[in-house]
Structure 1
Amino acid sequence: MSPTSTTTPPWSVRRLPRADGRVFLVTGGNAGIGYFVAEQLSATGATVVLGSRNPAKAEVATASIRARVPGARVRAVRLDLADLSSLEKAVESLDVDRLDAVVHNAGVALDHPPREETADGHELMFGTNHLGHFALTRWLMPLLSAAPAARVVTMGSFAAKSERLALGDLQDVGGPGELGGPDGLGGPGELGDLQSRKDYRPKRAYGRSKLAQMYFGLELDRRLRAAGSPVTSVVAHPGGALDSLTPSRPPVHVRTPGARLGAAPAALLVQGKHAGAWPAVRAVLDPAVRGGELWGPRVLGLRGEPRREAVWEHLADPLVAAWLWDASRDLTGADPGALIG
């Protein structure tokens, strides 16, 4: 056997490893980056399940994937992360005995007021993007633990890099400081509350909801490692991903010639959503990926093939992450850590 015959080939987004027999769930897999994560994973021979709150859009997406990936094993389940009471039933509808990976991708991004709430009374972006995935993980944990080496991949956002959490801001009811918080993290209202009851700014609310997701992904891995679980948790982000740089997948996504030409200068710095999917896809498939890592685009964290990058300094604080975990458990009534083992 030659010395190079056992060497793992370099990672290529165009030559993904096979994953026959494995089962992956992609939340929000009917559109945007989630669609391309699902399409790319389907090409590996795995069974890919799209979690979507809109069955009609999910059916369009599955048809598109089947048209582009011959023999694709893809289907959809109804999943509404804005309704915590529906999540147990959604997981039951997966009808599988194990889950090899989940990509926590689904998200709401609002550009303008008014402030909206989930069925459970949480600010819509924080409640869907973070709390919904936090609670979903609790119901998925038995299926993940049944797989030989499952992965939880949480899709963060470059928008979270400039945000910070003041943990007293998580309080939902009661007076200032009622939930407390670690020393040195600032008091309630210092950065505005994550539920955005006092000062609703959509872009800031979105960035903080994604930051909370990323904290969760890293804290989940710490708890999995402490319990000796074979499940690992990885965080990814897509960099800068624009619709105007995304190839058409009609009727899921249609890019006009005018949009393509108008976005050409932006391609020097950012990319399309097909490329924004690459870090999450690598986090699912690459055997070299380890729990607790952060994966993003190679060029300035904005575009290019996926690479491991240093965990952002403000994400590396386990004290903040642990406090957010406890607050999220209290807000959702769910504890993903209770079934780790």
Structure 2
Amino acid sequence: MPSAAPTGSPTESPTERWDVHSLPRAGGKTFLVTGGNAGIGYFVAEQLAGTGATVVLGSRDPGRADAAVASIRSRVPGARVRHIRLDLADLSSLEASAEALGLDRLDAVVHNAGVKFDQPPRRETGDGHEAMFGINHLGHFALTHWLAPLLTAAPEGRVITTGSFAAMSERLDLDDLESTRDYEPERTYGRSKLAQMLFGFELDRRLKAVGSTVRSVVTHPGGALDSLTPSRPPLHVRTPGERLRGLPAGILVQGKDAAAWPAVRAVLDPSISGGELWTPRHFALRGTPRRRPVRGHLADAEVAAHLWSASHDLTGLEPRFGPA
């Protein structure tokens, strides 16, 4: 991440204390984690459940969601965790997903779910959108629309948007957001994650403009490998051989349990303000979470505003917030 500030920069107080292994209590709060049944999202949900909060997993697959709920309950005594059906590829279903929460307020949503395709051909959602852009960005954009009243009803609601290191070297093509003319899987994925990050920063600008108490924070998990991730059977099983083979990579990257830390901190830390970017500490790839400056193309408000307008046109929806 070329724009990252060096360790010890003024972006973080040297007296700041945050223990990823001793999180503040959050009893009485409710958090939604999209894609919380697997990967990084699972560990975000497991760690948040340990705070005493109610955690809702948003998942397309009820069987995998049930397994994730059972795994969390086996590791977090008394965990308050459940799941709802959430299919970000089906925009028409998202209103029902928000209603299925059955809540008067939602304290935070972690926009974590996503897909990545490594090979052509170009794929589309049932709504006709390029799949990575449609699920990773448009699905979360539309979901935020339906969650806005619940987030506004919370004392300090939060929208946590998960970006990626893959976004740092990409630029959006505003004339071809869905890669109809120029489809290359790695580039299209990176652009979908960049769209998510730009959405998070633009949402912050719009929240501040209307005096909302909701905060929009952007994170990215750094580098995360299965071989460095602790087992959570049947969701993920790491053999001793895989663990040994992955150890050298631990110099640069980490497991998915540690990759969850930036999002968990963005949900819980009361000192975090809207519009901030949180990443792993070391080269934005591994380590405990820290705040990074928002620079370069991530700070391009004009591109972000164009993306917002295009997303509105493509979904027919727009996240709207007002004062609490």
Q: TM-score, normalised by structure 1?
A: 0.89
1:15 is matched with 22
* 1:64-83 alignment runs, 5 A limit: 64-83=71-90
Partner residue, 2:259: 276
Give the secondary structure class of the aligned counterpart of 2:231: coil
CA distance in 2, matches of 1:199, 1:255: 38
* Residue of structure 1 in register with 2:240 after alignment: 257
Deviation (angstroms), 1:169 = 2.1
Matched AA of 2:151: L
Determine the C-alpha separation between the residues in 1 that align with 2:109 and 2:185.
27
The letter of the residue matching 1:248 is S
Among residues 267, 292, 298, which one is paired with 2:275 in the alignment?
A: 292
> Secondary structure of 1:336's match?
coil
Please name the residue that 1:5 is paired with: none
Does the 8 Å contact 1:160/1:210 carry over to 2?
Answer: yes
Counterparts of 1:199 and 1:162, CA distance in 2? 17
Q: By how many angstroms is 1:201 displaced? A: 1.2
Write out per-residue CA displacement over residues 198-238 of structure 1, whole angstroms, 9 at most, x where no aligned residue.
23211111110000000000000100000000101000000
> Are residues 1:90 and 2:97 paired?
yes
1:271 partner SS: coil
Distance 1:167 1:113 in 2: 22
Report the counterpart of residue 175 of structure 2 in structure 1: 168
What CA deviation, in whole Å up to 9, does each residue of 1:15-45 have, x standing for no partner?
A: 1000000000000000000000000000000
1:328 is matched with which residue?
311
Q: Give me the whole-angstrom Cα distance separating, in 1, the residues matched to 2:203 and 2:302.
A: 13
Q: Structure 1 CA distance, aligned partners of 2:312 and 2:241?
A: 47
Deviations 1:65-121 (A, max 9, x none): 000000000000000000000000000000011000000000001111121111110
Moved over 3 A (4+): none
Once the two structures are TM-superposed, the CA of residue 334 in structure 1 deviates from its matched residue by: 0.5
Q: Compute the displacement of 1:9 (Å).
A: 7.3
**Distance in 1 between residues matched to 2:319 and 2:243, nearest whole Å:** 43
Question: What's the CA shift string for 1:220-267, capped at 9, x where partnerless?
Answer: 010000000010100000000111111100011111112111111110
Q: Which residue of 2 aligns with 1:120?
A: 127
Q: What TM-score do you get using the length of structure 2 for normalisation?
A: 0.94
Of 26-35 and 199-208, deviating more is 199-208
Aligned to 2:162: 155
Q: Superposed, which structure 2 residues align to 1:1-341 within 5 Å?
A: 10-170=17-177, 195-337=178-320, 339-341=321-323
Alpha-carbon distance between aligned partners in 1 of 2:79 and 2:310, rounded to the nearest angstrom: 40
* Contact persistence 1:212–1:324 (CA under 8 A): yes
Distance, in Å, in 2 between the alignment partners of 1:329 and 1:272 is 36
1:287-324 per-residue CA deviation (whole Å, 9 max, x = no partner) reads: 11100000000000000000001113111011111110
Q: Distance in 2 between matches of 1:278 and 1:259?
A: 23
User: Partner amino acid for 1:29?
Assistant: G
Q: CA deviation at 1:166?
A: 2.6
Alpha-carbon distance in 2 for matches of 1:126, 1:340: 27
Distance 1:340 1:241 in 2: 37
Gaps of 5+ in 2: 1-14
CA contact (8 A) 1:118 1:127 kept: yes
- Counterparts of 2:240 and 2:184, CA distance in 1: 33
Q: What residue is the counterpart of 1:177 in the other structure?
A: none
Aligned to 1:189: none
Secondary structure at the aligned position of 2:176 is classed as: helix
* Structure 1 residues without counterparts, runs of 5 or longer: 1-7, 171-194
Quick one: percent identity of the two aligned structures? 72
Amino acid at match of 1:236: T
In terms of mean alpha carbon deviation, does 161-170 or 214-223 score higher?
161-170
